[in-house]
Structure 1
Amino acid sequence: MLRGIRPLLRGSTYWGALFAYGGALASLPLLPFAALPAMAWSSASAGVQFALVLLVWSVLIGVIGLARTTRRVLIACARRMLGVPLPDPVSQPLRAGSPDDGTAPSTVSGADRLRTPLWLLSHVVLGWLGAQLSVLLFVMGLLLPGGWAGAEAGLSVNGWSLHAESGWQSWTAALCCLLLAAVLCLAVTHTLRWLALRLLGPSSAERLALAAERERGLAERNRLAHELHDSIGHTLTAATIQAAVAGEMLCADPAAARAALRSIEESTRSALEDLDYVLGMLREEKTGATPARSLADLPELFDRLRHAGAVVEPELSGDHAQVRGTLSRAAYRILQEGLTNALRHGADGPIRVTVTAAPESLELDVVNRTAGERAVSPHAFPTSGHGLSGLMERVRLLHGEMEAGPDGPDHWRLAVRLPARVPA
C-alpha cells in the first residue's frame, strides 16, 4: 500500500506535471495567429472554424519544434523537470547506415526530424488535458465538503452540476477527487517521461554518430598515450645519459658539461610542453597549439642524441617535405622510440638511421650495436616493456609493416614500412 502511494508523495511527480502545464501555457501566444485563417473564413460553421484553429495551431507548434535550438531547450528542460537521462543532441548526426569516413552526409531522415515536433505537440496536448482535469478535480475536492463552502455550494460545468452535501459522503468524495488529481499528475508525468525517452532521446542516426564520436575520442586518447610515452620516455633516457656525461666532464671539460646541461634543459622543456598538452586534452581543457613533431624535427632529435654521447649516422633520401600530416608525425615518433631503445639497450657504436621517402611508401630503419661496454649501465633505465608493442600498434593503425630483431651477431634492427597514403 505504501509502495503504491509513494510516487504520489514525490516532488518530481508534480514538477513533471508543472512542466506539462507550462508547455500548455507557452502555446497560448500562438492561438491568435492560429485564429486568423478561421476569421478569414467567416462563412464556415463554428465546428469547421474550431477544427481549422486546432489544425493551424498544431502546425505552428510543429514548425517551432523543427528548430534545432528548440530540441536542445526541450532536452535540457526534460532532464531538469522530468529527471530523464537524455544526452545532448548531436550537432550533425550521420544518416543511419552510412560509414563514418568523413564523406557521409551529415543529415537526418525525415522521420527523425519529426520526432521533436511530435514531442512538442504531445507535450502541449497533455498539458491542456491534464491542467483542465486536475484543476477541475482539485476544485471539486474543495467544494464538495459542505462544512467548507456551505450547504448550497456547488459546481456547474457545461450544464452538468454537482452540489455539495454535508456528511461523511461529501468528505469521502472530496478526498477521492484530490487523490484523482494527484494520480492524474502522476500519469501525465510518467507519460511525458516515456515519450521523452522515445522522441527526445537519440535516434538511430544520432546513436551511430555518438558511437563514432566515442570511438574517435578513444582513438585520440590512445594516440595521446603513445605520444606521451614516446616523448617522456625519450627525454628521460636522453637526460639521464646527458647528466652522466656532464658529471664526468664537469672538471675535465666544463664547456662540454655546460653543453650537456643546456641540452637537458631544452629536451625537458620540450617534454613539458608535450605533457601539458596531453594532460589538458585528457582533462578536456582548452590548450594551445598541438606540439606536433614531424620529420622536419629530426635534426633537433639527432642533436639531442649527440649531446647524450651517441653517434648518430643518418641517411635521409627522398622528398621528406611531401610527407605530411599523420604519416610525418607517426614517422617521427617511431624513430624517436627506436632511438630511445637504442640508447637504453644498445652498446657503444654508431646508430644508423635510414629514412627513405618514396611515392608509394615511407621506410624507416634504425640499426644499433647490442654487444660491448656502455658508459652508462642499461639497468639505469627501467622500462615498462610496452615500447615495441606500442610501436606495433601504431604501425598497425597506419596499415604498415614492422620488423624488430637481431641483425647479425651484434646488431639490432628496427625496420618499418608505412604506406604513403594514410588518413591525415
Structure 2
Amino acid sequence: MRRLRGALLGRRVRLRWVHLILGGALLMPFWLLAMVLVSPFLDMPGTVVAGSAAAQFAAYGVALPLAAVTALFPLTRPLSVAAARGLCGVAPERFADGPARSWAARVRTAGWFTLHVAVGGLVAGASLALPPFALSLMVLPFSASLRESALASFWSLDQAWLVWGGVPAGVLSLVALAAAAAGAGALLARQAPRLLGPTPADRLAAAERRAAELAVRNRIARELHDSVGHALSAVTLQAGAARKVLDSDVAFVREALAAIEETTRRTVGELDSVLGLLRQGEDDGELPGPGLEALDRLLSAPGLRPAPAVTRGGDLGRVPGPVSREAYRIVQEGLTNAVRHAAGAAVSLRIAVDEEELEITMENPLPAAPGAPAVRRPDRPGGGRGLTGVGERARLLGGTAAAGPVDGVWRLTARLPLTGGSR
C-alpha cells in the first residue's frame, strides 16, 4: 500500500504533476488564440471559452502547431531546461546548456515544448474538472437534492446505480487521475534528455569551451612555474651561498640578502597580477609580465655566477609585446635550469632578431662533461615541466623550441616569429 501511495502521490510524482500543470498554463494563450481562429468555422453558441467540446478540442489541435512555431526561438530551450531540471527529476548533466543555436536543437526543443503543453493541457484540464466531478459522485448517494438538480442531469448523474456506487466511482476517478498524471510525468521525464539534451553541435561547443578553459589554465600555470620557480631557485642559491660565508664575508651576505629581497618583491608583484586574473575570472589574451626590456636585470641577478655571456643581434626594441614577454620567460626558464643543474658553470646566451623571427640560443656545460663542476640534482616530485612550457610558449606563437645535449653542452633553442604576437 505504501509503495502504491508513493507511485501515485510521492514527492517526485507531485513535482512532475506541477510540471504538467505548468504545461497546461503555457498552452492557455495558444488555446485562446486558436478558439478565436476556429470560431468562425464552427457553430459555437455562447462565449468562446464555453463553446462545445468539439470546438474546444479543435482549438486544442490548432494551438499545438502555434506552440511549436513559438518554441523555435533559441531562448525556449534554457527556460524549458530550467523547468524540467527542477520538476522532472532528471540528472542535470543530461540537459544541454544555453540557447538552442542550431536548427536541429531548435526543432528538438520545439518537439519537447509541444509535447509538454499537449500532455500538460490534458492533465491540467482533467485536474481542474475531475476532482469536483468525483466529489459530486461521492456526495450523490447522500444528497437527494443533488440527484434531482440540473447539475446531476447535465453530468448524467441521475443514473440509478450511482445511488449506491457513487463513492467508489468517485474514488476510482481520483485514482485514475493520479495514475494518469504519474504516467504522463514519467513519459516527459523519459523524453526530456532526448529532446533537451545536447546535440552533436552542443557537445562540440562544450568541448571547445573546455579546451579554451584548459588553455587559459595552462598559460597561468606556465607563468607561475617560470616566474615563481625562477625566483625560488635564485633565492635558494643566494641563501645557500650567504649561509656558507656568513662569518667571513659580511658584504657578500648583505648583497645576497638585498638580492633575495628584490627577487621576492618582484615575484610577489607578478604573482599578484596572475592571481588577480584568477579572482576576476578574466582572460584578455595577454597575461601580465616583463619582456625583453627587463632582460638586463634578469641576467645581472647575483645568483648567476659567473654572469652569462650575452650576444645580442638586431633591434630587440621592435619585438612585439607578446613575443617579447614569451622570449623573456623562455630565457628565464633556461637560466633557472642552468642554476639548478649546473650551478657555477658558464652560461652563454645569444638572442637575435631579424625581419621575420626572434632566435634564442642558450648553452651551458653538461654536468658530466669534462671539467664541468659536480652538481647535485635535487629531487623534484612533480617537477620537470619547464621545458614543456617552453615548447608550448613557442608553439602558441607559431614557432619552435628544442632542448637537449649537443656536442658536450646543454643547448636550448627557440625561434619565435615576429608575426606570432596575437595569441
Normalised-by-shorter TM-score class: 0.7 to 0.9
Superposed displacement of residue 3, structure 1: 6.2
Superposed displacement of residue 236, structure 1: 0.6
Equivalent residue number for residue 415 of structure 2: 417
Equivalent residue number for residue 72 of structure 1: 78
RMSD value, Cα: 4.2
Counterparts of 2:179 and 2:25, CA distance in 1: 21
Residue 355, structure 1, aligned to residue 351, structure 2:
yes
Residue 22, structure 1, aligned to residue 22, structure 2:
yes
Deviations 1:268-291 (A, max 9, x none): 244345545666767885699843
Superposed displacement of residue 311, structure 1: 0.3
Equivalent residue number for residue 218 of structure 1: 214
Change (3 A) 1:89 1:238: same
- State which of 97, 102, 122 in structure 2 corresponds to 1:89: 97
Equivalent residue number for residue 296 of structure 2: 299
Of residues 270-279 and 79-88 in structure 1, the stretch that sits farther from structure 2 once superposed is: 270-279
**Equivalent AA in structure 2 for residue 120 of structure 1:** F
Equivalent residue number for residue 162 of structure 2: 165
Deviations 1:305-351 (A, max 9, x none): 34554402332334545544664444333222111000111142432
Of residues 389-398 and 195-204 in structure 1, the stretch that sits farther from structure 2 once superposed is: 389-398
Change (3 A) 1:420 1:191: farther
Equivalent residue number for residue 307 of structure 2: 311
Contact between 1:143 and 1:149, CA under 8 Å: does it hold in 2? no
Contact between 1:242 and 1:309, CA under 8 Å: does it hold in 2? no
**Equivalent AA in structure 1 for residue 311 of structure 2:** E
Contact between 1:346 and 1:370, CA under 8 Å: does it hold in 2? yes
Equivalent residue number for residue 191 of structure 1: 187
Change (3 A) 1:406 1:45: closer
Counterparts of 1:81 and 1:225, CA distance in 2: 41
Deviations 1:359-401 (A, max 9, x none): 4443221112346687x96456746344444544555666654
What secondary structure, in the 3-state scheme, does the structure 2 residue paired with 1:116 have? Answer: helix
Superposed displacement of residue 5, structure 1: 6.3
Counterparts of 1:184 and 1:403, CA distance in 2: 69
**Equivalent AA in structure 1 for residue 198 of structure 2:** P
Contact between 1:151 and 1:165, CA under 8 Å: does it hold in 2? no
> 1:273-292 counterparts in 2 under 5 A?
273-275=269-271, 285=281, 290-292=287-289
Deviations 1:34-71 (A, max 9, x none): 666668xx5x4448997996687556645653444443
Counterparts of 1:160 and 1:314, CA distance in 2: 104
Contact between 1:312 and 1:350, CA under 8 Å: does it hold in 2? yes
**Equivalent AA in structure 2 for residue 126 of structure 1:** V
Counterparts of 1:133 and 1:79, CA distance in 2: 24
Equivalent residue number for residue 243 of structure 1: 239
Change (3 A) 1:320 1:60: farther
Equivalent residue number for residue 101 of structure 1: none
What secondary structure, in the 3-state scheme, does the structure 2 residue paired with 1:28 have? Answer: helix
Counterparts of 2:204 and 2:309, CA distance in 1: 49
Superposed displacement of residue 238, structure 1: 0.7
**Equivalent AA in structure 2 for residue 271 of structure 1:** T
Counterparts of 1:49 and 1:145, CA distance in 2: 30
Counterparts of 1:18 and 1:35, CA distance in 2: 25
Change (3 A) 1:293 1:188: farther
In the alignment of these two chains, the number of paired residues is 402
Of residues 205-214 and 253-262 in structure 1, the stretch that sits farther from structure 2 once superposed is: 253-262
Change (3 A) 1:132 1:413: same
What secondary structure, in the 3-state scheme, does the structure 1 residue paired with 2:308 have? Answer: strand
- Taking only the aligned residue pairs, the percentage that are identical comes to 34
Change (3 A) 1:389 1:109: closer
Residue 334, structure 1, aligned to residue 330, structure 2:
yes
What secondary structure, in the 3-state scheme, does the structure 2 residue paired with 1:412 have? Answer: strand
Counterparts of 1:55 and 1:321, CA distance in 2: 73
Contact between 1:294 and 1:331, CA under 8 Å: does it hold in 2? yes
What secondary structure, in the 3-state scheme, does the structure 1 residue paired with 2:97 have? Answer: coil
- State which of 260, 266, 291 in structure 2 corresponds to 1:264: 260
Superposed displacement of residue 246, structure 1: 4.5
Counterparts of 2:327 and 2:95, CA distance in 1: 38
**Equivalent AA in structure 2 for residue 414 of structure 1:** L
**Equivalent AA in structure 1 for residue 358 of structure 2:** L
Change (3 A) 1:126 1:390: same
Contact between 2:343 and 2:375, CA under 8 Å: does it hold in 1? no
Contact between 2:404 and 2:412, CA under 8 Å: does it hold in 1? yes
Counterparts of 1:4 and 1:60, CA distance in 2: 38
**Equivalent AA in structure 2 for residue 12 of structure 1:** R
Counterparts of 1:350 and 1:199, CA distance in 2: 67
Counterparts of 1:318 and 1:195, CA distance in 2: 66
Change (3 A) 1:286 1:111: closer
Equivalent residue number for residue 96 of structure 1: none
**Equivalent AA in structure 1 for residue 189 of structure 2:** R
Counterparts of 1:90 and 1:62, CA distance in 2: 19
**Equivalent AA in structure 1 for residue 81 of structure 2:** I
Contact between 2:141 and 2:166, CA under 8 Å: does it hold in 1? no
Equivalent residue number for residue 100 of structure 1: none
Normalized against structure 1, the TM-score is what?
A: 0.75
Counterparts of 2:243 and 2:168, CA distance in 1: 95
Residue 406, structure 1, aligned to residue 405, structure 2:
yes
Superposed displacement of residue 13, structure 1: 1.4
Contact between 1:313 and 1:351, CA under 8 Å: does it hold in 2? yes
Contact between 2:16 and 2:87, CA under 8 Å: does it hold in 1? yes
Superposed displacement of residue 130, structure 1: 0.8
Change (3 A) 1:413 1:382: same
Of residues 285-294 and 14-23 in structure 1, the stretch that sits farther from structure 2 once superposed is: 285-294
Runs of 5+ consecutive residues of structure 2 not aligned to the other structure:
45-53
Equivalent residue number for residue 123 of structure 1: 116
Counterparts of 1:36 and 1:359, CA distance in 2: 75
Change (3 A) 1:80 1:385: same
Contact between 2:73 and 2:106, CA under 8 Å: does it hold in 1? no
Counterparts of 1:81 and 1:325, CA distance in 2: 52
Larger Rg over CA atoms: 2
